[in-house]
Amino acid sequence: MSGEPAEVHPSSELALRDVVRALRPQQWVKNVLLFVPMLLAHRGLELGQLLAVGGGFAAFCLAASAGYVLNDMLDRDADRRHPHKRRRPFASGALSPRHGFVLAALLVAGAVAISSAVGPAFAGMLGLYLALTAAYSLYFKEKLFLDVLLLAGLYAHRVLSGAVAAAVAISPWLLGFSLFFFLSLAFAKRYCELRRVALADPSAALPRRDYRGEDLGLIQTLGSVSGYLSVLVLALYITSSDVVKLYATPQLLWLVCPVLLYWLTRIWFLAGRGELPDDPVLFAVSDLQSYVAGALIAITGFLATL
């Protein structure tokens, strides 16, 4: 059966393929958020800032991979009971914990070196990110609501770190939007994980999570409401005096609201139908409708500046 624990076959040879899989490079797309403050400040064509944020992006990719290595080492027993995660390098035994500690140390060293070259303030932001991801894996991952709150905070932290790297002011509107938007996606991730388990046993609980099958309805409600609150924050920003500082025709930004409402509503419909993978961000990267929504938002934002 696919849900049975995977057989562990320790190997003395460290395969490059398994090392790359342990890094989870597909997750690096989340670090594109570092470029958001620079772009929203309309300073995306300045070479110095592009290089600084690009270096920050590389540092965060290494730091994120270090966090995933630590997380997978801690979760390897639970992952062996998962139909898909059982194939992860640490759960399958392709990589040992000793390999993991060495790999994580090298990744952290590389991230710290690059972040120091970007600047001391950015290095401090990266250090905080490393501390938060370690705290998540070691403690908060097993705490009700605090886990999704910290996940959303880590997304917002990427945005804030991008502002530090680019040396641009961060808008409180952007931080408020980011927190509610990514809280919705964090809830969607937990919902999908719990739904898969609850279908087999309604009273089952997620391994290393503080959620049970009867929580599905509440998670769905909290997640969808959080997403809609992010659109409300955007609407309030459009009506504020701050918007005229960057946009010549801010009224056009109202067109962004229905696009976001559609995308978020669709995400939650797919989650409720069991058609959304565990990670909605990675789903969006391979989803045509998400690209169309992103293009419409980008075009609308550009036209609003004219």
pLDDT digits (tens, 9 = 90+) for 116-157: 999 999 999 999 999 999 999 889 989 999 999 999 999 999
Least confident of 68-82, 107-121, 246-260: 68-82
Residue 81 confidence (pLDDT) = 75
Residue 191 confidence (pLDDT) = 95
- The per-residue pLDDT for range 282-295, each reduced to its tens digit, is 999 999 999 999 99
Tokens in use for 301? 């934002």
What DSSP line would sit under 242-266, residue for residue? GGGGT-S-GGGGGGHHHHHHHHHHH
Residue 1 confidence (pLDDT) = 38
Is residue 11 very low, low, confident or very high in pLDDT (cuts 50, 70, 90)?
very low
Is residue 161 very low, low, confident or very high in pLDDT (cuts 50, 70, 90)?
very high
Q: Which has the higher per-residue pLDDT, 73 or 180?
A: 180
Q: Which has the higher per-residue pLDDT, 278 or 248?
A: 248
Residue 219 confidence (pLDDT) = 96
Residue 147 confidence (pLDDT) = 94
Q: Which has the higher per-residue pLDDT, 234 or 79?
A: 234
Residue 106 confidence (pLDDT) = 95
Least confident of 136-140, 178-182, 205-209: 205-209
- Give residues with Cβ within 8 angstroms of 113, minimum separation 6: none
Q: Which long-range contacts (CB under 8 A, 24 or more apart) does 295-303 make?
A: 296/255, 296/259, 297/256, 297/259, 297/260, 300/252, 300/253, 300/255, 300/256, 300/259, 301/253, 301/256, 303/249, 303/252
256-273 and 172-200 helices cross at what angle (nearest 10)?
A: 20
pLDDT above 50 for 5: no
Is residue 76 very low, low, confident or very high in pLDDT (cuts 50, 70, 90)?
confident
Is residue 256 very low, low, confident or very high in pLDDT (cuts 50, 70, 90)?
very high
User: How much is the average pLDDT of 73-81?
Assistant: 80
- The per-residue pLDDT for range 99-110, each reduced to its tens digit, is 889 999 999 999
CA distances from 217 to 40, 196, 293 (A): 36, 14, 27
146-166 and 47-74 helices cross at what angle (nearest 10)?
A: 150
The average confidence (pLDDT) of the chain is 90
**Is the whole model's pTM more than 0.85, yes or no?**
yes
pLDDT above 90 for 180: yes
Is residue 14 very low, low, confident or very high in pLDDT (cuts 50, 70, 90)?
low
- pLDDT > 90: percent of the chain: 69
- Cα 117 to its chain centre, rounded Å, is 25
Is residue 200 very low, low, confident or very high in pLDDT (cuts 50, 70, 90)?
confident
Task: Judge residue 196's burial from the number of C-beta atoms within 10 Å of its C-beta, 0-12 exposed, 13-18 middle, 19 or more buried.
Answer: middle
Between CA 65 and CA 20 the distance in angstroms is 10
